[in-house]
Structure 1
């Protein structure tokens, strides 16, 4: 009966399910790897700034990958970029099975660079493909599909954080890496067999000089996205897990469990974001929506920072404050994910989406470096203050976005 139900699905739905399953598996291992690296190298005695540096190439190569990957997807097809991303993640994981003596800072940075390339090839391919699978002028359906893909991905990333803590505790670092690599090899084989060959190929092969967006709307949205994700990662990537471990004396299970809960909740809210932003009234988000929600988000990190400064129920302030931040941030992120897919030119959609996620990766890069550096120098309050400033900048930039969902490129 289940096989009959699958066979009765349209080709578009089958491809959507294949892409989503591919993206889910990748995200699960990516989240687990992130938590494994943070906790394992903190356990080995690395400083917060050094741990942040382990992710430096991950984020730098993510910037480059999104820019180049969009062009590759338009020329050769999104199936190829997605499968190449999976293969590179497998190689990156296998590299990390080396002995502790080999796992030097530079070696881990190279492995993380491969992982960064892999992650953004996979994400760019998945997000671009949605535009191609939804019929023209179906903005509400497009928003819903993007929200489901993005939200479910982040929910699984949270599960990956929790999984990383469990695997580190039960199997150790190397054992955890072997389990994840084995899972991805199976997914990669299935993806090679069943993903369509021509998905995302542009009718006219774009030149490499076309990787930079010529759309004012996409440029503005990309700049807003950069500050939005810098605002999250400036406290989330290194500062928060180290703070929880040092200040509250939480072990790996508690740290990874809290981080996982945050991301899982964040992903669930993303999936239901259309219901928070007017779906029941038949509306889809506009540029004004992005500005409004960013304005609301800007209030939260400074409130948490003030509570910490005055020593006001620190543990409750951190936990409750960041959970509320996660809810509002998730709606912001889902709005942005919809707007870029809606604004993008359908022919060679991966060029526009790749450029946008290049800005996203740049925001993560800035946030990651600041998370280690600022936390080590000034502490979590300073990280939250910078987060506030970044969200305000995102809101100001978003105020200039067009209040329509279709943009002429």
Structure 2
């Protein structure tokens, strides 16, 4: 009986792992279209003569609905299962892409904002589903293995998003806007049909149906970490979303191919560093990161945008300073992001994990929203250097917040491999 029981558990775990692999594949496919769509929108509407602030406004609903989706999506994931939230996200992204295949005359600011709203909902349903699944597959206490899995998933996703940036610039050059969007919609429709057929398990479905008022975290550690995450991602997007691609196109006269290629290279490198982040944060010594590690790495990051801003101010090899400086920023930021992604999955409760993860990524989306709006407005009014100084201030705030985390358990825990 014992052997039969063990065999049954093994088979059940195997099914969960297969389901998780399908979810991860869906997440990767979605990420390609999400990265490509962002680059297509920035470059195409800049080409049409939109101001940096107007381009930023195109992403306003994308980020706002991302905030809402992470709150509500975590609750839905706990009640319905992560397979259903994943499939809903894929379907919404197909609708969003299809909306953008209309003629250029119909692509008004309000219309594109509505399509981006659907895309924002879709993206965060997918992210929440994939990230929440990891908690359910790693044994209790295996914090080192958990950190590795989170780092690999997060890093691979961002690598693919970078490839998506490159793909967006390439497709815009080869097929123009409508053709590029149509190709991506067809590709994602095939993935969605496959997902409907293969995703059967209610992975992540809470045993106790959570009430809607439970979407807000009651954990002080998760609340503090969420606030730090908000400022961390605001620090990235304040220069990355609108200011940098427009600056590269205007100041250096780079075409779509070069802009998309640089942005893609940045995100691909960022993703690759994320996958190996555990090696930089104490894995060789058998340690898993704590809030102290998050504070230290954020402190290192803080000086990089300040150095680039000074190079701009003193006209010191501007092109070289920006390219090299932002590549260094990307590497250090990747380690910060990977640390945060591990900590939230570690802090989250096992039952209804998507509630805690959803709340945390709500803060992540809020940071992106703040960064996106500031990226367009500050760049238009004051230039790229001002965006970088704000980035420095945001990172400093994230660093100080990390000191408040209660990490006694985290700092003493040993990795289990």
TM > 0.5 between the two?
yes
Contact 2:224–2:404, Cα closer than 8 Å, also in 1? yes
> Which position in structure 2 is the counterpart of 1:120?
124
Q: 1:72 corresponds to which residue?
A: 76
Name which of 35, 40, 47 aligns with 2:39: 35
What whole-Å deviation, never above 9, does each CA across 1:48-78 have from its counterpart, x for those lacking one?
A: 0000000000000000000000000001101
Q: Which residue of 1 aligns with 2:335?
A: 331
String of CA shifts for 1:31-62, please: whole Å, max 9, x gaps: 00000000000000000000000000000000
Q: Are 2:272 and 1:252 aligned?
A: no
Correspondence list, 1:204-219, <5 A: 204-219=208-223
Q: How far is 1:10 from its partner?
A: 3.2
Question: What is the alpha-carbon distance in structure 1 between the residues aligned to residue 236 and residue 381 of structure 2?
Answer: 19
Q: Specify whether residues 128 and 405 from structure 1 end up closer, same or farther in structure 2 by C-alpha distance, changes over 3 A only.
A: farther
Counterpart secondary structure, 1:214: coil
Please, what is the CA RMSD of the aligned residues? 1.2
Do structure 1's residue 367 and structure 2's residue 367 form an aligned pair? no
84, 94, 100: which is aligned to 2:98? 94
Partner of 2:64: 60
Deviation of the 1:406 alpha carbon: 6.0
Out of 131, 138, 149, the position equivalent to 1:134 is 138
Among 263, 268, 275, the residue aligned to 2:272:
268
Q: Report the counterpart of residue 383 of structure 1 in structure 2.
A: 387
Of 146, 155, 159 in structure 2, the residue corresponding to residue 151 of structure 1 is: 155
CA displacement 1:138-184 (0-9 Å, x = unmatched): 11111111100000000000000000000000011011011101111
Alignment map for 1:171-190 (pairs within 5 Å): 171-190=175-194
Classify 1:30/1:404 alpha carbon distance in 2 versus 1 (closer, same or farther; 3 Å): farther
State the match for 2:235 in structure 1: 231
2:350 aligned with 1:346: yes
State the alpha-carbon separation in 2 of the partners of residues 312 and 195 from structure 1: 54
Quote the Cα distance in structure 2 between the aligned partners of 1:101 and 1:39: 17
Q: CA deviation at 1:231?
A: 0.1
Once the two structures are superposed, residues 238-261 of structure 1 have per-residue CA deviations (whole angstroms, 9 ceiling, x without a partner) of 000000000000000000000000
- Unaligned runs of 5+ residues in structure 1 are 1-6
Give, in whole Å, the separation in 1 of the partners of 2:315 and 2:75. 50
State the Cα distance separating 1:14 from its structure 2 match.
2.1
Equivalent position SS for 1:298: helix
Could you say which residue in structure 1 is the equivalent of 2:86?
Answer: 82
Distance 2:274 2:28 in 1: 15
Instruction: Provide the TM-score with structure 2 as the length reference.
Output: 0.94
Please tell me whether the aligned partners of residues 138 and 146 of structure 2 are also in contact (alpha carbons under 8 angstroms): yes
In the alignment, what sits opposite 1:170?
A: 174
| Equivalent in the alignment of 1:108 | 112
Cα contact 1:287–1:404 (8 A) shared by 2: no
Q: Deviations over 1:163-206 (max 9, x none)?
A: 00000000110110111011111111111122233111111000
Question: Residue 240 of structure 1 is aligned with which of 241, 244, 259?
Answer: 244
TM-score after normalising by structure 1: 0.96
Contact 2:16 2:201 (8 Å CA) reproduced: no
* Structure 2, unaligned runs of 5 or more: 1-10, 412-417
The SS at the match of 2:105 is: coil
Q: 2:299 aligns with which of 295, 306, 310?
A: 295
2:196 and 2:81 mapped to 1: Cα distance?
A: 13
Runs of 4+ with >4 A deviation? 404-407
The alpha carbon displacement at 1:405 in A equals 5.3
- Match of residue 49 from structure 2: 45
